[in-house]
A and B are shown apart, each in its own frame.
Chain A
Amino acid sequence: MSTPTITPPAPSGLRARLNRWPMLLWMTALWVLLWGDLTLANVLAGFGVAVLLLLLAPMPAVGYVGRVSILGTVWLLAKFILDVLLASVEVSKMALHPLRPPEGGVIRIPLRSESDVILTLTGVFTSLVPGSIIVEAHRFTGTLYVHVLDLPTSGGAEAFRQQVLRQERRLLYALASQEDLARAGLPRRRWWGGPGKGSDR
């Protein structure tokens, strides 16, 4: 499906390293959150630690160039929260059901996107919804193997496969660029962050 991409090397050079400002911002924010006090000293100390970490232990860049759609992201998160709530009830019912043991299965799901980031995030989001665990993720073919706790409640293997593909689709509309969408065979994103008409999301 996709040609294997090589993980980009860690950035070399001072400038390239310091260019990772979102990482700086996140680490500083985390530092302040952990101290629990928004003071100038905390912010400065956090920033210093963040710069030091970026200089001493740079992580390889994810190599993701996308375009974040705010409305797409809102939809992604709203649907995710709803899914988690509903699925928690289903799994709880399953755990307490007096007679019927769960009837699981491992389902193969070939994803449409070629991006490692989308593969990972689809795995994480799918996995966070109760009732599904990623057993195996095959990067070169962009395939996830998901264990489903109970196939009948998910409506069978095919229904579950479609469910994960819709998760990936929401992620793509939230994070991917128009080119990525086209490559995954999806319609262009409109101004509201979703696909054109005829969409079933």
Chain B
Amino acid sequence: MNWDLVREVVASAFFLTGSALVLIAAIGMVRFPDLLSRLHAATKPQVLGIILMMNGLALSLASWQVGWKVMPVIIFQLATAPVAAHMVGRAGYRTNKIRYDLMGVDELSQDLAAVREENDDPQA
């Protein structure tokens, strides 16, 4: 059994799946109708995509040094992606960049309207 070959094949599989996910994310960006659903495509498939590609990288270079270095990349990707998505989503929501007509349910708008009524403040 040729372990180098096995390693190369597994690494390539990681690279291909990872890149496919990022490609699909790009397609989603173009095809989804509004800001929030585009955000899903822009931020999410990366999470799995980058983990797969980093794994592929560590495997194909077969070095412990790279293997360890890849870990903070994944950790920071996981830690920052939700914050970025949240900030853009929140800003978009607050500045009415949202297609409300595309949403089946919108409980935040309901609650915000309720609060506004309670405070009787049209600026809230």
Binding site for B on A (CB under 8 A): 30, 33-34, 36-37, 84-85, 87-88, 91-92, 94-96, 101-108, 123-124, 127-128, 130-137, 145, 147, 149, 151, 157
Contact = CB atoms under 8 A, between A and B. Distances in A.
Interface residues of B, number: 44
**Chain B interface, >50% SS class:** helix
A95 B31 contact: yes
B40 interface: yes
A132 B104 CA distance: 15
Interface string B78-99: 1101100110011001000000
Given A123-B82, A128-B78, A104 B65 contact: no
B54 interface: no
Given A123-B82, A145-B107, A157-B105, A84 B36 contact: no
A36 B63 CA distance: 10
Contacts of B82: 123-124, 127-128, 134
A185 to B, nearest CB: 22
Contacts of A145: 107-108, 111
Q: Which of A101, A102, A108 has the most CB of B within 10 A?
A: A102
Contacts of B33: 101-102
A105 B32 contact: no
Q: Which of B21, B33, B37 has the most CB of A within 10 A?
A: B37
B86 A127 contact: yes
Given A102-B33, A105-B103, A127-B86, 4 more contacts: A33-B71, A34-B72, A92-B45, A105-B106
Contacts of B69: 33-34, 36
Contacts of A104: 34, 36-37, 102-104
B31 A108 contact: no
B10 interface: no
A85 B107 contact: no
Given A106-B103, A128-B47, A95 B36 contact: no
A133 B108 contact: no
Contacts of B78: 128
B85 A88 contact: no
A104 B109 CA distance: 14
Contacts of A108: 107-108, 110-111
